[in-house]
């Protein structure tokens, strides 16, 4: 049985990695364009959501693909509320050093290039916005991995971000003052205002309109070479996220990371309560590791993580220590505090839904209340097995108890002694105690 189980596991693992490999290949863009067409093609990537590490890796892959097929330009259709400063720096570096012209198009209508999106849009060789979109509010909130900026004064962080924004704007010939104000004063601009203030190069109704308007423009790449765009009626090469990128992006969702960590801790807690169940422990361990990975990529505050871990430690201790609910109450408070601290003061677009925190905390509080109630009832319940279970039960004297004799209890004849004077044969008695194999009884009243 053990050998067959091992063989089955081996086959499943091989199949799993094969599926990932094939899916990754399928997720790669098809390059079936003729060479002549590829040189005129425009590579298009669409991204909506917070800027996280996988975002930068995805954009890097898109730009590299555009370079590999000799595309004349790469269009990034972007809508983001913001994101991590480190991921933004990485992404902007790919754009600035690209060997093909990169066009950042804030779309669709109603889209947003907030916070991190401002830096990304300004860094592009050509920047455009759709009607009804907006840009700005780029004041930095936190930078660095795992709270590195905790020891850096906020003024220095802000000044550094403002200098970076000004540098990018000057490099692209944009209005450096207006861009700097988006950082220093969290100013936001509509698409019309951004065009008027020369924060962007143009407005476009849709992708086709964009390609028509940039047709004939000349851009200068990092290497100093100039490229004239001929994008009107150019063939498009869509480059979506592949399976692995989609999976990692999904795991980078703060709500999902929080749920995974919670499920992981709960699963391990159930396994500790009931050793040998295995399934809760396995699911809990996997969920916990995935949750910790997600929180790590999102720069979660580790003080919050430790408080949540402490909460589950207190929940477990409640079962083994008679604290009358104090440990459980402390666990609920620790869990709530840790949940609120996880992304406190974090960048825009990254945070846990407060309703999810409240719901989860109330659920755990209710479960702990039920657990404590069950423990208290169990402690008060009379012993149901063994000789101790006889205490409080009725019996019948089978001989005179003067004071010793015999009584019939629970289908058996017992040696007994009366603690209530002499008792006649046939009288009802109540068992009050046990000494070795002798029962202590008194008259039934």
Report, as residue numbers or ranges, the catalytic residues. 115, 156
Tokens (6 digits) for 271? 């396994």
Beta bridge partners of 236: 42
Angle, CA 130 vertex, CA 52 and CA 229 arms, to 5°: 90
**236/49 Cα distance (integer angstroms):** 23
How large is the angle between the packed helices 53-68 and 243-251, nearest 10 degrees? 160
238, burial (CB in 10 Å: exposed 0-12, middle 13-18, buried 19+) = exposed
Tokens (6 digits) for 334? 């620790």
Q: Could you tell me if 428 and 396 are in contact, meaning their C-beta atoms sit under 8 angstroms apart?
A: yes
What is the 8-class DSSP label of residue 232? T
Beta bridge partners of 395: 429
Q: Could you tell me if 137 and 186 are in contact, meaning their C-beta atoms sit under 8 angstroms apart?
A: yes
**At residue 376, what are phi and psi to the nearest 5 degrees?**
-65, -45
What is the 8-class DSSP label of residue 150? G
């Amino acid at each position: 049985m053990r050998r067959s189980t091992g063989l089955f596991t081996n086959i499943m693992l091989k199949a799993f990695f094969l599926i990932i490999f094939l899916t990754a290949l399928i997720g790669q863009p098809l390059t079936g364009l003729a060479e002549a067409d590829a040189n005129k093609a425009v590579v298009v990537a669409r991204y909506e959501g917070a800027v996280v590490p996988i975002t930068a890796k995805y954009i890097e892959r898109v730009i590299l693909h555009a370079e590999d097929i000799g595309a004349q330009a790469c269009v990034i259709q972007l809508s983001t509320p913001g994101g991590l400063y480190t991921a933004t720096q990485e992404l902007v570096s790919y754009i600035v050093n690209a060997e093909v012209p990169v066009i950042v198009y804030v779309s669709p209508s109603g889209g947003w290039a907030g916070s991190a999106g401002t830096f990304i849009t300004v860094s592009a060789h050509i920047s455009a916005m759709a009607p009804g979109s907006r840009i700005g509010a780029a004041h930095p909130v936190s930078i660095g991995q795992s709270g590195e900026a905790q020891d850096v004064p906020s003024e220095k962080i802000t000044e550094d971000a403002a200098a970076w924004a000004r540098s990018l704007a000057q490099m692209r010939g944009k209005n450096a003052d207006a861009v700097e104000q988006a950082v220093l004063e969290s100013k936001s601009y509509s698409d019309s205002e951004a065009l008027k203030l020369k924060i962007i190069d143009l407005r476009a109704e849709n992708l086709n309109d964009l390609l028509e308007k940039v047709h004939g423009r000349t851009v200068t790449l990092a290497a100093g070479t100039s490229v004239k765009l001929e994008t009107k009626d150019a063939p498009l090469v869509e480059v979506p996220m592949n399976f692995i990128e989609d999976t990692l992006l999904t795991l980078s969702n703060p709500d999902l990371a929080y749920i995974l960590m919670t499920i992981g801790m709960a699963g391990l807690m159930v396994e500790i309560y009931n050793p040998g169940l295995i399934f809760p422990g396995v699911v809990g361990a996997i969920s916990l590791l995935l949750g910790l990975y997600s929180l790590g990529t999102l720069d979660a505050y580790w003080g919050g993580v430790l408080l949540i871990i402490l909460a589950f430690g207190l929940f477990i201790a409640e079962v083994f220590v008679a604290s009358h609910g104090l440990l459980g109450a402390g666990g609920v408070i620790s869990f709530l505090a840790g949940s609120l601290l996880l992304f406190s003061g974090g960048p825009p677009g990254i945070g846990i839904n407060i309703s999810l925190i409240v719901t989860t905390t109330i659920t755990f509080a209710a479960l702990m209340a039920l657990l404590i109630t069950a423990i208290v009832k169990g402690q008060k319940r009379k012993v149901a097995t063994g000789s101790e279970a006889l205490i409080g039960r009725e019996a019948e004297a089978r001989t005179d108890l003067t004071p010793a004799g015999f009584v019939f209890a629970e289908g058996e004849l017992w040696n007994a002694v009366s603690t209530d004077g002499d008792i006649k044969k046939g009288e009802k008695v109540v068992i009050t105690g046990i000494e070795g194999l002798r029962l202590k009884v008194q008259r039934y009243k």
